[in-house]
Amino acid sequence: MPRPQKRLAGTAGPDKKGLPGKRAKTEDAGEISAKVENSSLQKISASKDSVKKLSSYWLMKSEPESRLEKGVDVKFGIEDLKAQPKQTTCWDGVRNYQARNFLRAMKLEEAAFFYHSNCKEPGIAGLMKIVKEAYPDHTQFEKNNPHYDPSSKEDDPKWSMVDVQFVRMMKRFIPLAELKTYHQAHKATGGPLKNMTLFTRQRLSIQPLTQEEFDFILSLEEKEPS
DNA sequence: GCCAACGTTGGC
DNA sequence: GCCAACGTTGGC
């Protein structure tokens, strides 16, 4: 049975574990930004209701159109997720340290947007939730997998994945172009999408959203397409 | 440890 | 298919 292949972040080459250098710096930077994101959200939430809120919000990119990578079709759209047993899949193939560190920061039941990338109409297609927290991505050890990483060792896996479950389709598809229009406007007005990671860190395949960003995007469902 | 070359992402 | 953005590699 074919396993869904998400094509997520950039392909990473060999990593010299334990050696100081660029790779380690990249890794640290990702971890720090994940923590900063979470702690600022927790702070906001805690000040509101004194109940420690652990939840963050996420956006996860995947390609809904066929494309071969080392001879393997990496197509995996939201319809493919719906077709999985229990409408659940493991989100494998992430090979970028920042994206991986965000995967590792995900907690059970947190919400994530399913984003369609590298396709005719890019944008947010639906909602998922995290149903299993980070564990080793087995595809890093599979020689024939397009995301095989020969530098990763079984006793010290480099890459992680989470399991996600389909929650629902967006009431209407939210196109990238529309989000971009709001992002541009909000940069001038200080609106909720002014710093959205989708636009500030273009190629990041796993990214956090603030509560405000998440709520604003959900509110767009009720509006006419702009 | 700098940084040019290279490879990938992903919108258009 | 083009190419800007940007992460990674590797020579020095």
pLDDT-derived band at A52 (thresholds 50, 70, 90) equals: low
At a CB cut-off of 8 Å and minimum separation 6, what does A89 contact?
A: A4, A76, A81, A163, A164
In this prediction the pTM is: 0.83
Which of the two residues, A13 and A176, has the higher pLDDT score?
Answer: A176
pLDDT value at A210 more than 80: yes
A203 CB contact with strand C at below 7 Å: yes
Instruction: Give A51 CA → B11 C1' in Å.
Output: 41
A97 CB contact with strand C at below 7 Å: yes
Residue nearest B9 (alpha carbon to C1'):
A203
A136 and A82 Cβ atoms separated by less than 8 Å: no
Instruction: Give A120 CA → B12 C1' in Å.
Output: 10
CA A7, A8, A13, A16 dihedral sign is: negative
pLDDT in tens, A78-115: 999 999 999 999 999 999 999 999 999 999 999 999 99
A34 CB contact with strand C at below 7 Å: no
DSSP tag of A101: H
* Cβ within 7 A of any strand B atom: A 7-11, 21-22, 61, 69, 95, 117-119, 122, 176-177, 180, 202-205
Q: Reduce the DSSP state of residue A14 to 3 states and report it.
A: coil
Instruction: Give A66 CA → C3 C1' in Å.
Output: 21
Instruction: Give A68 CA → C10 C1' in Å.
Output: 28
Tokens of A60: 């996860």
Measured in whole angstroms, the distance separating CA A59 from the mean position of its chain's CA atoms is: 5
- The fraction of chain A above a pLDDT of 90, given in percent, is 70
Q: Which helix H or strand E contains A168, and what residues bound it?
A: strand A160-175
Tokens of A32: 């720090």
